[in-house]
Amino acid sequence: MSSELIIKSAAETKWDCVSFGEVMLRFDPGFGRVRNSRQFQVWEGGGEYNVARAMKKCWGKRAAVVTALPKNDLGWLVEDFIMQGGVDMSHVIWRDFDGLGKNTRVGLNFTEKGFGIRPALGCSDRGHSAASQIRPGEVNWEKLFGEEGVRWFQTGGIFAALASNTAEAVIEAVEVANKYGTVVAYDLNYRASLWKSQGGKEGAQKINRNIAKYCDVMIGNEEDFTACLGFEVEGADEHLTNIETESFKKMIQAAVAEFPNFKVAATTLRNAKTATINDWSALCYYQGELYQSMKRENLEIYDRVGGGDGFASGLAYGFLEGKGPQAAVEYGAAHGALAMSTPGDTSMVRVEEVEAAMKGKGARVIR
């Protein structure tokens, strides 16, 4: 099996990037607490969707999302947000609403940014959501991958964790993507709370290892690889705050030996000294070599949510543009860092700003 990542050309495809997952409404209390707030700013967000949105808004590429929404005002609010981001919705499933939300609804995510010694805090209210009910046979993958054509397909462990049917839908999608030569990128994004209903860590490993057989690009931090795929990182402490680059390389080599279909394995390295000050960098393993991004020590964080998705999007852009693994990991790390400098899950930067950050340009006023 070739270790080179082969990507279809733009000319033979309709989409540069398609994401498959749930798009939620995020309620943000600013710098207050969810439990006390009288006012929330509302954003859209989803681990998989955030990649497609940045692909369009930051990188200027053709992006679409596959998800499901209810036919009600909250579903239409999410639609309005997605349309603002320029992401195509022609493959979105619309579900009839029963007036109560027993049959279908929009998932809600209440998330605090955190500050100093108070960490970020998330509280989800997402049961019975439209996207969590997606099952095999609902999406015409043959049309998407076969007729329209997709260069990069992004999905992940958050969506697979929602229910047994979403995990089965992910497997159905990646099988068809594989058949048509679409790059499959999977962000493990381990969330212990989401996997409880599917057998905890043991269930997560069984499902993710099944999905992993179809993946070309595997993204996740050291906890993700450990919890979702069962690989151990030597030298990482119990809370996985201290990881040696060489130890990560050994773990990735073991993963690639077991899953030779992995062409790229990548991770962000975050040492959260406080909620507001993090050390931030990234690693990318490609064709037997490990590539490391610039290390940003004591990076000031405004809103950490979406930093990993920003990394995944920048990494994808680097490979889609044929810029090579070192550039890809730099684009990813810089974009993730900038995504954490603004509120909301999605980034608010343009490619020129990412490239300026990659060159180490400071934060002097731009006039």
Q: Look up tokens 């749930």; give the residue.
A: 22
Q: What Å distances lie between residue 52 and 80, 98, 234, 258, 317, CA to CA?
A: 16, 30, 34, 29, 11
Give the integer Cα–Cα distance in Å for 169 and 131.
11
DSSP string, 91-155: T-EEE---SSSSS----EEEEE--BTTB--EEEEE-TT-TGGG--TTSS-HIIIIIII-EEEEEE
pLDDT at residue 239, as a whole number: 54
pLDDT < 50: residue spans in the chain: 367
pLDDT at residue 1, as a whole number: 61
For the segment 249-271, what is each residue's pLDDT rounded down to a tens digit? 888 899 999 999 999 999 999 99
Q: Smallest Cα–Cα separation from 309: which of 111, 45, 85? A: 45
Phi, psi of 302 (to 5 degrees): -90, -45
Q: What Å distances lie between residue 104 and 1, 96, 101, 107, 140, CA to CA?
A: 43, 8, 5, 9, 21
Give the integer Cα–Cα distance in Å for 207 and 212.
9
As beta bridge partners, residue 283 has 267, 292
For the segment 161-181, what is each residue's pLDDT rounded down to a tens digit? 999 999 999 999 999 999 999
Which residues, 6 or more positions from 239, have their beta carbon under 8 angstroms from its beta carbon? none
Strand 217-219 vs strand 264-272: parallel, antiparallel, or unpaired?
A: parallel
pLDDT at residue 223, as a whole number: 84
Question: For residue 273, which amino acid is it?
Answer: K
pLDDT at residue 238, as a whole number: 52
For 286-311, the three-class secondary structure string (H helix, E strand, C coil) is ECCEEEECCCEEEEECCCCCCHHHHH
pLDDT at residue 360, as a whole number: 86
Q: What global pTM score does this model have?
A: 0.95
Which residues, 6 or more positions from 25, have their beta carbon under 8 angstroms from its beta carbon? 42, 43, 44, 74, 77, 78, 106, 107, 108, 109
